Structure 1
């Protein structure tokens, strides 16, 4: 191979290799988020798909079993993206049903590969499964994008925060990779692999930038006077009350102290000081209090609404957290409270 071919091979395969390393890190790290497992699986599937593309591009006589492995991974990428986004938008019961459905689909895909191998059923794999996986990927991207947009309508208006939202980055990257593969006949087959490498490193740069900004903000705040003046307390209290009562920011299950502070044009140290001194609560206690107050209203107003849906609408990402927090604050379970109040 020429020097340019060596460079092309290096950069196109780099994303697949690092994708596997990142997936391994997500699976093994201790402080997991609830979407990390699905993101790790997605990275593994994309890495397998990209690895097959690189191998096939430089070795057209590639063994059919490797081609089958790549197409099998491609067939599962779309559903995995859907599951990743659904994990942060659907309630536990619906997510459990979706997981069972995707597990059955995965088993059916594997069984199909065993009963109808690539080398014996070329037309099936080269036409139906190849095209089907591409369109399934597209449909899943559309559904996942709409699902996330509906759940996070007010956040999409905050353009400065948009690029730092993990689901937005994953969806945007997936759209770019899908487009690169779908238009490969007009450009080059290797564009999908190069796109994955590009997306992966841009995502890492965004993550590092976010961490650096957070660290810089923490360092700056550390040396500032933590004591709020009377004027600051009044101003921040009014801003906070407006965000709570008018915009109901606490309904966002991914709301954090730094993000809320940014909405108030305050440092997270100032917000923490305000909550501690003015409300005698920490951030978690304050937000959960707002969510439980909203939940109590919903339980009385909508007596037929399932408790899991009430929890989801009030900003709780897990029903178990809602039940424990509700009982801690009221001394009753949600169902007991509903029975008492109705």
Structure 2
């Protein structure tokens, strides 16, 4: 094997090796959206097996029939696992059911058939070649139905109606990568059989770069105080809920509830209040409640002071009197008399 082939062999198998590590990571070490990540791990695993078989067969035509058959069986799982991954990642499958395993039956039947085979590769070559054509067609069919699942996402990418979510970007990236690998295999007669392995390596590292950027973006969202524009948007949204929706009138309002309305964590909300507004949650909400109480005290003389405190969002009369005097220097009754 000359140097150029050695380099090609190394580069092709390096992608497979790294793919196996990432497959294990998604399969065993990520709990978030567990079904989706399990399918992604399984998808990467069968891809690595399929690609690994291609690399070994390209450089050694006399490899064991068992290796070839394992590669063929893995190939038959790529389409179904892609479909199930996209279904779970886009939320179209909320709970796995037995019927979802029906997609795996052809691969199971194929496995049982080949496990009983003891002939060498040369004697099975024609049969395997025909099976590969059938599997490539099956792969294509799953690409089509998976593409329909992502139709709205593709439309949004084209029309840019709204920003695509992390899951949408990742699903489309995986889908396009699998499509390119499929295309490289069905067109190898015009290129090279090793093209699929080379394309896989390139796509694998591109996908890892996309994943890194998505993770980086997610980390930035976890720390909005580092993004002035995002903080200003959150503050404007906060003012809307307080000034227009008047959520402060809910005397059971807690920081996590308001943070959820803003689509941020309570910790992020606390950071924004402390660092950007120089206030804590209780004082900030009480300012709105006291301004509301002032309005009632000035314009609605028929209400008792106690009732005004309740209408403004205070849980008790004592809490109303304490907060009002702290912010204005006088009691609600004194404020009403002075006005």
TM-score (norm 1): 0.62
Partner deviation per Cα, 1:269-314 (whole Å, 9 max, x = no partner): 69997xx89xx9xxxxxxxxxxxxxxxxxxxxxxxxxxxxxxxxxx
Are 2:146 and 1:144 equivalent residues in the alignment?
A: yes
The 5-angstrom pairing of residues 116-131 of structure 1 reads: 116=117, 119=120, 121-127=124-130, 129-131=131-133
Structure 2 vs 1, CA of residues 216 and 113 (structure 1 numbering), >3 Å: closer, same or farther? Answer: same
List gaps (5 residues or longer) in structure 2: 246-259, 274-280, 286-339
1:12 aligns to what? 12
Higher-Rg member (1/2): 2
Asked whether the 8 Å contact 1:118–1:125 carries over to 2, the reply is: no
Question: 189, 192, 195: which one pairs with 1:191?
Answer: 195
Whole-angstrom CA distance in 1 between matches of 2:233 and 2:107: 59
Distance verdict in 2 for CA 1:226–1:175, change over 3 Å = closer
1:121 Cα deviation (Å)? 4.0
Distance, in Å, in 2 between the alignment partners of 1:229 and 1:147 is: 33
Aligned to 2:188, the other structure's residue is in SS state coil
Distance 1:92 1:224, change over 3 A: closer
Distance change >3 Å, CA 155–CA 223, structure 1 → 2: closer
**Structure 2: distance between partners of 1:229 and 1:178:** 43
Deviation digits for residues 99-131 of structure 1 (CA, Å, limit 9, x no counterpart): 22134333212112124556354432122x110
Cα displacement (A) at 1:154 = 4.7
Q: How many Å separate the matches in 1 of 2:52 and 2:16? A: 6
Could you tell me how far 1:215 is from its partner in structure 2?
Answer: 3.7
Q: Verify the 8 A CA contact 2:53 2:68 in the aligned structure 1.
A: yes
SS in structure 2 at match of 1:209: helix
Correspondences of 1:293-308 after superposition (within 5 Å): none
User: Judging changes above 3 Å, is the alpha-carbon distance between structure 1 residues 77 and 218 closer, same or farther for their aligned structure 2 residues?
Assistant: closer
SS in 1 for 2:63: coil
Q: CA RMSD in A?
A: 3.9
* Residue aligning to 2:103: 102
Which residue is equivalent to 1:311? Answer: none
Instruction: Trace 1:69-88 onto structure 2 (pairs within 5 A).
Output: 69-88=70-89
Q: What secondary structure is seen at the aligned counterpart in 2 of 1:185?
A: helix
Paired residues of 2:220 and 2:226 also in contact (CA < 8 A): no
- Map 1:136-285 → 2, pairs under 5 A: 136-150=138-152, 154=156, 157-158=159-160, 161=164, 165-216=169-220, 221-222=225-226, 232-233=236-237
Indicate the structure whose relative CO is greater, using CA pairs within 8 Å and at least 6 residues apart: 1
Q: Distance in 1 between matches of 2:113 and 2:77?
A: 13
